[in-house]
Amino acid sequence: MAEFNIKILGCGSALPTVRHMATSQIVNLRDKLYMIDCGEGTQVQMRRMRIKFNKLNHIFISHLHGDHCFGLPGLISTLGMLGRTGDLFIHAPKNMEEYLQPVLRLFNKGLPFCVRLNQVDTSKHALIMEDRSMEVYSIPLNHRIPSCGFLFAEKQKEAHLLRDMIDFYQIPVKFLRQIKQGADYTTPDGEVISNKRLTRPAEPAKRYAYCSDTAYFPAIIPAISGVDLLYHEATFLEADKARAKETYHSTASQAAEIARQAKVGKLVIGHFSARYEDDNSLKKEAAPIFADTILAKEGMVLPV
């Protein structure tokens, strides 16, 4: 499987069904795991998909509706029982502390790790987390309460060294780092060997954008323009457009229209309303507008 992929743990909406679980996803970049949203049942889905609990360090919560965060207390308890010691970072809109503090106080006395809350300003498109390999940005959305999507932007990887050339010029180890980052090499005789002759370019860095929950909101397009993969909610069909507007959700057509305008690589739609027995009707509506549309499904693993 691709080094950078998305695992769908749940893609239902608020009302429980036997077809879908509440929202949660894992962004996996070379076995480093980031979670987006954590609806009720997320930890069981992790078990089902054999996702390693100890590889998870960052959880991003889009908004404080129950179907996007009621799995957090159970997951935190489980991480404690599994003996986790490293900090767990939760990036979420304000009020997360008001929600989690009573739970931690009542249920997690003596938790062997720290839960660190990072309050996200959902009104700004801004960098909210950065590590060696990934940058994560907030994307303001238009929902009933403060909500944001997330853009996961892989950092440009270093170039690959051409081992034969390194050996040929007998380049000392101490120069290799700089060369991977683009430097030329000057031999002891003063000959300059251009970087291009010493390296092969890295694969292009990829980007994934998650936008749920939101009404049709073209203001997000600049932030997600050209991403390799876009997850956009498609709670309703066009036939229920009035209901979509009223509840600040999108239709499948609207999700596809966003994907088309943003010129993304692929679109995956989810957050399906419990009212539709067959999700294919949603795909049928989106595909004429944006051909490369995939229906999210629990257990699915999508390369970015």
Give catalytic residues, as residue numbers: 67
Q: At closest approach, how far in Å is the CB of 126 from a second copy? A: 24
- Out of 3, 14, 265, 283, name the contact with a second copy by CB under 8 A: 14
Strand partners, 153: 135, 207
Q: Are 143 and 214 in contact (CB under 8 A)?
A: yes
Segment lying near a second copy (by CB under 8 A), choices 94-102, 178-186, 187-195, 285-293: 94-102
Q: Is 37 left (phi over 0), alpha (psi -120 to 50) or beta?
A: left
Residue 117 interacts with a second copy (CB under 8 A)? no
- Binding flag, residue 276, a second copy (CB under 8 A): no
The two three-digit tokens of residue 280, written as one number: 């294919």
Does 48 help bind a second copy (rule: CB under 8 A)?
yes
Among 1, 106, 173, 242, binds a second copy (CB under 8 A): 106
The CA-to-CA distance between both ends of the chain, in Å, stands at 10
Report which of 17, 54, 56, 24 is spatially closest to residue 40, judged by C-alpha positions.
24
Query: Which of residues 257 and 279 has its CB atom nearest to a second copy in the complex?
Result: 279
Q: Which of 17, 57, 119, 195 binds a second copy (CB under 8 A)?
A: 17
| Side-chain-side CA neighbours of residue 55 (13 Å) | 13
> In this structure, are residues 125 and 103 in contact, taking their beta carbons and an 8 Å threshold?
no
- Which position among 52, 85, 102, 116 is part of the footprint of a second copy (CB under 8 A)? 102
Cβ pair 117, 97 in contact under 8 A: yes
Report if residue 74 touches a second copy, rule: CB under 8 A.
Answer: yes
Cβ-based nearer residue to a second copy, 95 or 118: 95
Q: How far lies 26's CA from each of 133, 142, 156, 187, in Å? A: 16, 23, 21, 46
Q: What is the C-alpha separation between 183 and 176, in angstroms, rounded?
A: 9
CB of 246: closest distance to a second copy in angstroms?
14
Query: How many residues sit in the footprint of a second copy (CB under 8 A)?
Result: 34
Contact status: 299 vs a second copy (CB under 8 A): no
Residue 173: phi and psi, rounded to 5, are -55, -35
DSSP annotation of 154: E
Residue 122, interface with a second copy (CB under 8 A)? Answer: no
Decide if residue 61 touches a second copy (CB under 8 A). no
Binding footprint of a second copy on the chain (CB under 8 A): 14-18, 21-22, 40-41, 43-44, 46-48, 64-67, 70-71, 73-74, 77-78, 81-82, 95, 98-99, 101-103, 106-107
